Amino acid sequence: MSSIFEEMSGREKEIYIKMWSDFDFSTMDAEIRKTNGSKNSYCFDGEGDKAHVLVKAFDIENEDLFIEKYNMATSGSGDEKQKINILRSSSLCALLHFYNVTTDNPLILEFETNKGKRRVEFTESFFEYKNPVINQPSNMDVVLLGKDENQDIILFLESKFSEHFKDASDVMKNAISRQYLKEGRVSAPLYDSSVLKQLDLRRVDVDEGHFKLETLDGKEIYIDGIKQMISHYTGVMNVLNGKLYKGEKPEEHKKVDKAIQNKEAQLILGEIVFDDRIEALAGNDYEKRYHTLAARIAELTKEDKRFEMMIDGLGYSLFKTNAHRIEPMIKRFYRYE
């Protein structure tokens, strides 16, 4: 099966070969084809719309729930609807693993934050939840609602499949608004030169209103991931202070709004990356930088009683042994079996 990926090039080829060179796609009820004629991307194809193609491909048990969560996952400000059927899609990875978090099929996660150890039973999942930031909102890949004993927990998770390898560079592509430097209590301290130096980064002015980040020594790292986490942190702090996103959003997101307004609920920000085979390509440089950034955020927010920062990101490999049930085909596709 690896022969179909041989004409690919660059990091894309490395990802596909590492993940699926020995995978038998004939075991799935779907076709794979090149994405819009690109030689470096493959997607699922078949009869019907993308949602039902994925239902068949992964033999989804709860079709109605999956369609509901699919619609939510493709409602963000990005182009998830166009790329969610791509094999290496981060949005697809998050959807398949978290769509079926329910009371009957809870997801129990154990992790550490700056406020201590957590063991949370999550029973609801939401996708592409918008938090107001500076100009455009930040789209949170996954939001989970649950309880740590009797305390309500809202977990905001950024999800990455292969971006920490594929999109590593020595300078970020898109510029950042200088407005982030004016948010004195929230984002500005994280863009301070002393903090950026700990991340092996520095600011480079683009024009009067924008700057970029680049590495100090020319090494390629996943800079956009750092920028995204700062944006997500800014957004979570905004909603914590009562500034909920007022624009168009799925009806289901109002349940998250209500949960946030519960003064007894704890808000936690973290990340989950696909480790396992992708980590063999990417190494753990990005995870180290996430830890450094999380430690600084933890220091800035130690007096905020309702906010916690996940110290180390989660890895999707937790689904290999977690009691939360995901379809056997999902496990096979992501090479857990």
Say whether 15 sits in a helix, a strand or coil: helix
**Distance from C-alpha of 203 to C-alpha of 115, rounded to nearest angstrom:** 31
Cα three-residue angle 130-135-140, rounded to 5 degrees: 20
Q: Is the pLDDT of residue 2 over 60?
A: no
Contact 41, 12 (CB under 8 A): yes
Q: What is the pLDDT of residue 36?
A: 84
Percent of the chain with pLDDT over 70: 98
**Quick one: average pLDDT of 219-230?**
95
> The tokens 């898109």 sit on which residue?
174
Q: What is the pLDDT of residue 236?
A: 97
**Quick one: average pLDDT of 217-227?**
94
Percent of the chain with pLDDT over 90: 88
pLDDT tens, residue by residue, 167-211: 999 999 899 999 999 866 799 999 999 999 999 999 999 999 999
- How far CA 18 is from CA of 71, 89, 332, in Å, comes to 30, 15, 14
**Distance from C-alpha of 166 to C-alpha of 18, rounded to nearest angstrom:** 13
**Distance from C-alpha of 176 to C-alpha of 211, rounded to nearest angstrom:** 5
Q: What is the pLDDT of residue 184?
A: 63
H helix runs in the chain, sequence order: 10-20, 50-57, 63-73, 80-83, 90-98, 163-166, 193-198, 223-240, 253-261, 276-282, 285-300, 328-333
Pairing outcome for strands 42-45 and 107-113:
unpaired
pLDDT tens, residue by residue, 128-143: 999 999 878 999 999 9
Q: Is the pLDDT of residue 252 over 50?
A: yes
Q: Is the pLDDT of residue 251 over 70?
A: yes
pLDDT tens, residue by residue, 273-317: 999 999 899 888 899 999 999 999 999 999 999 999 999 999 999
**Quick one: average pLDDT of 258-264?**
96
Q: How confident is the model at residue 77 (pLDDT cuts 50, 70, 90)?
A: low
Q: What is the pLDDT of residue 227?
A: 96
Q: How confident is the model at residue 1 (pLDDT cuts 50, 70, 90)?
A: very low
**Quick one: average pLDDT of 150-155?**
97
212: which 2 tokens? 């970029």
Q: Is the pLDDT of residue 80 over 80?
A: no
Q: Is 227 exposed, middle or buried (0-12, 13-18, 19+ CB in 10 A)?
A: buried
- Proportion of the chain in helix, strand, coil states, percent, rounded to 5: 40, 25, 35
| Nearest partner of 232 among 320, 88, 136, 99, judged by Cα | 136
DSSP 183-238: -TTTTGGGGSHHHHHHTTEEEEEEETTEEEEEESSS--B-HHHHHHHHHHHHHHHH
- Count of CB atoms within 10 A of residue 159's CB? 22
- Count of CB atoms within 10 A of residue 241's CB? 12
Q: What average pLDDT does the structure give for the chain?
A: 94
Say whether 97 sits in a helix, a strand or coil: helix
Q: What is the pLDDT of residue 296?
A: 97
| Nearest partner of 145 among 166, 122, 162, 128, judged by Cα | 122
Q: How confident is the model at residue 31 (pLDDT cuts 50, 70, 90)?
A: very high
| Nearest partner of 196 among 181, 210, 172, 214, judged by Cα | 214
**Quick one: average pLDDT of 102-111?**
98
**Distance from C-alpha of 45 to C-alpha of 30, rounded to nearest angstrom:** 6
pTM, two decimal places: 0.96
